[in-house]
Chains A and B, each alone.
Chain A
Amino acid sequence: MGRHRFRHGRGWAGKADVGGEREARRVIALVGNPNTGKSVVFHYLTGRYVEVSNYPGTTVEVTRGWCGPDLIVDTPGVYGISDLNDEEKVTRDAVLRCDLVVNVVDAAHLERDLFLTLQLCDLGVPLVVCLNMLDEARAAGRVPDAGVLEANLGVPVIPTVAVKGQGLAELRSSLDRAVPGRSEEELGMRAREVLDRGRRDVEVRDEPMPSPGGRRSRHLAVLYLEGDRLAARELGLPVKGSREQVWSRRRERADRLAALARAGGNSGGRRGRRAPEWGAVLDRLLTWPPTAALALAIILGLAYWFLGVVVAQHVVAFTEGRIMQGYWEPAVRQLVARVAPLSSIPGQLLAGEFGLLTMTVTYIVGLLLPLVVGFYFLMAWLEDTGYLPRVAVLFDRALTPLGLNGRAVIPLILGFGCVTMAIVSTRVLATGRERRLAIVLLSLAVPCSAQLGVVAGMVSPLGGRVLLTYAAIVFSVFAGVGVLLNRLLPGHSSALLLDLPPLRLPRLDNLLRKVAYRAASFLREAGPLFFYGAAALGVLQVTGLLTSVQGFMAPVVTGWLGLPAAAATALVMGFVRRDFGAAGLFHLGLSASQTLVAVVTITLFVPCVASVLMIAKERGWLEAAIIWTGNVLLAVAVGGLVARLAPLVIQS
């Protein structure tokens, strides 16, 4: 069973590549619930930065880094290990492959976190517990006794306040003391039975067992008893096991142990005084609909001012207009002209209208990067305060008819920044059905920031009435398609079950690091896609195919949509860059109702090349093609309807 062999190099889900294929002495997995400070511990041990969020389920990948000769693997925050979702599968694989686990536990939320700790003990992995956030536990008067935990779990328990660096040196030196924790007796006994039975069956079938007698088969046996499908498959047994029984018992043990540890922690001195619960008061305001709506309106207003005015206008004018178009593009053209004439085919491809070095670079660096950085800063701030889960709770009811639960609000909001990134973030949704629904809505009816800028530019001179009509049309399509798809798609979507993290004031250093990290990974993920798209378009243009596509589309554009034939170019351009499409419409001298038709059509029209490629990457080519076709048909259909109805609303 070579595929179970542990690989330190490629093959991990993680993107960040650390030092190639260097052989690790030990592989150490950092495992913990969301928001336990795992990433801060990782940062201390490896000197590398990983994302820290105050929103459950923002990372689905593992990040790796070196701590001396040891390889540290940071895993997504999970409440336990199972095959219920991608995050847990990723974490499960990391636990199965590592030599020891550091379990980071939030001391203030011991009941919740000990479930995972006890599961790790039951699995029998060598373990060290990092009892983190003691400061918050102290403030809440809920200090647990590390000694009590150590005695009951049978593994080293190191008290820490990771953000202040307290206890982390002790944690590092305690790694050598990692031992398998104390397992629940009954579960351990049954795991041994499973293995013995398996070995007998295997002898009969004359096949090798996966690493016989090793620790790994013990992990698998326990997971099998918890109803884990993947474990059952690897052991070659039918899926059985009673997840709920095992989990109920473990939940009870976790609650008992937490109570015991806290009794010990608080008995030594006087009971810690409870800090004023400003968090609870704020939480009331953020979840009571009237005040919550007010808070949301204020935050959205500030967000609009920050992104729409400060970044989209002032910053972009400087980065795109001044730097990229003022200095970069002329310099590149000069340089390219020395090698090949600009009118030649290579010259066109590199520095022409859709040049890889001119348009694409200007677009990514000059326009997209500032917008994305601004947007990520905003999102990072919202995430770190813990506000997003409250938004998810608020919108849960409204999203139900669309077959989504409150969680989907995050990707949908992200879509207003960049649809391509939002599509990646649909990974936080629980079922494939929900991901599909969210991706369709994102690609169809959520305009990204680049596009919104141009739409606003075209529509605002026409007055509030047209703008409102535009918003109403796009929203109706969003809601209509969502409701319809929810009816048509087989299966059920999951209900909301969301752990609300405490409200916190974000730390600026953390915000900045997070934004830098995400912007870099945005460039890594989406950058190449923009280049491919631009290259394809360049080829279309150079070969003359672009004109035939435009000619082919002309009847629809003039006949059905009632726009000038030249608008066809804008629609095709819109495929590369959504705002680009709109930019081509500026000079056509459209009437008010024609403008409305045009902006509605380009909003609903296929999303940019990068997001189509991202959909294909996430959901496969077939689904991407279906979504693509559906978008085009719907955009044209709605555009034509608007062309017929718009004159009733707008006197032009």
Chain B
Amino acid sequence: MVEQAAQQSTKQPVARVCTLATAPVGARVRIRHVGDGPLRAQAIRLGVGQATELVIWARLPGGPIIVERAGQRVAVGRELAREIWVEVVDAT
């Protein structure tokens, strides 16, 4: 999984818009849309809501994505991450 992700970020041009689940680690992203789910409201409250900017801090193979925002790290389960659409602001 990690290799796959690494390949994606080197070979293909980085997609401007993708889900949180596929955004490259280390990238700064802006959230475009959070899918309708039971956790949507809670995600908004924790600062993982529309129009907020965050950094993809780590991604566990098949598992949660850890994002960082204002010094705060939040783990987002893969299932939820797939429903969060982001725009890559800075890919480094």
Interface residues, chain A, CB within 8 Å of chain B? 79-80, 82, 84, 108-112, 115, 140, 142, 243-244, 247-248, 251-252, 255, 258, 283-284, 287-289, 389, 392-394, 396-397, 400, 405-406, 492, 494-500
Instruction: Select from chain B the residue with minimum beta-carbon distance to A259.
Output: B70
Closest to B38 in A: A494
Which residues of chain A are within 8 angstroms of B60 by Cβ–Cβ distance?
287, 289, 393-394, 396-397
Query: How far is B42's CA from A322's CA once the two chains are assembled, in angstroms?
Result: 53
Known A284-B58, A393-B66, A496-B64: A248·B75 in contact at CB below 8 Å? no
Query: Which bucket holds chain B's interface residue count?
Result: 35 or more
A393 in contact with B64 given A109-B70, A494-B39 (CB within 8 Å): yes
Cα–Cα, bound, A467→B56 (Å): 42
How far apart sit A497 and B81, CA to CA, in the bound complex (Å)?
10
Contacts of B71 in A (CB 8 A): 108-109, 140, 142
CB closest residue in chain B, given A227: B41
Q: How far is the CA of A614 from the CA of B83 in the complex (A)?
A: 37
Closest Cβ–Cβ distance, residue A464 to chain B (whole Å): 30
- C-alpha gap A240/B43 in the complex (Å): 20
Q: Are A500 and B73 in contact (CB under 8 A)?
A: yes
Judging by beta carbons under 8 Å apart, are A397 and B80 in contact? no
- Given A140-B71, A393-B75, check contact A497 B42 (CB 8 Å): yes
Cross-chain contact A111 with B70 (CB below 8 angstroms): yes
* For the complex of A and B, 4 pairs with smallest distance between CB atoms: A496-B77, A495-B77, A397-B63, A495-B80
Q: Can you spell out 13 A-B residue pairs with CB atoms less than 8 angstroms apart?
A: A79-B45, A109-B72, A112-B47, A255-B47, A393-B60, A393-B63, A394-B63, A397-B78, A406-B77, A497-B39, A497-B43, A498-B74, A499-B75
Determine the residue in chain A with the shortest Cβ distance to B59. A287
Q: Which residues on the B side are within 8 Å of A115 (C-beta)? A: 45
Known: A109-B72, A284-B58, A397-B60. A499 touches B66 (CB 8 A): no
Q: Check: B50 CB closer than 8 A to any chain A CB.
A: yes
Count A/B pairs, Cβ under 8 Å. Answer: 117
Residues from chain A with a CB closer than 8 A to the CB of B70 are 109-112, 255, 258
Docked-complex contact B58 and A287, CB < 8 angstroms: yes
**Interfacial chain B residues near A494, Cβ < 8 Å:** 38-39
**Residues of A contacting B90 in the complex (Cβ-Cβ under 8 angstroms):** none
> What is the distance, in angstroms, from B41's C-beta to the closest C-beta of chain A?
5
Asked if B47 and A497 sit within 8 Å, CB to CB, the answer is no
Q: How many Å from the CB of A420 to the closest CB on chain B?
A: 29
Known A108-B71, A109-B71, A112-B70: A251·B77 in contact at CB below 8 Å: no
Distance A244 CA – B79 CA, assembled complex (angstroms): 20
Chain A CB within 8 A of B32 CB: no
- B45 & A495 in contact (Cβ 8 Å cutoff): no
CB within 8 A of B41: which of A84, A255, A392? A84
Roughly how many angstroms separate A243 CA and B36 CA in the complex, as a whole number? Answer: 13
- Identify 15 new A-B residue pairs, CB closer than 8 A, beyond the known A287-B66, A498-B75: A111-B72, A115-B45, A247-B44, A251-B45, A394-B60, A396-B77, A396-B78, A397-B60, A397-B64, A405-B77, A492-B38, A494-B38, A497-B39, A497-B43, A499-B46
The docked-state distance in angstroms from the alpha carbon of A244 to that of B50 is 11
The interface centre, meaning the residue of B64, B69, B78, B80 with most chain A CB atoms within 10 A of its CB, is B64
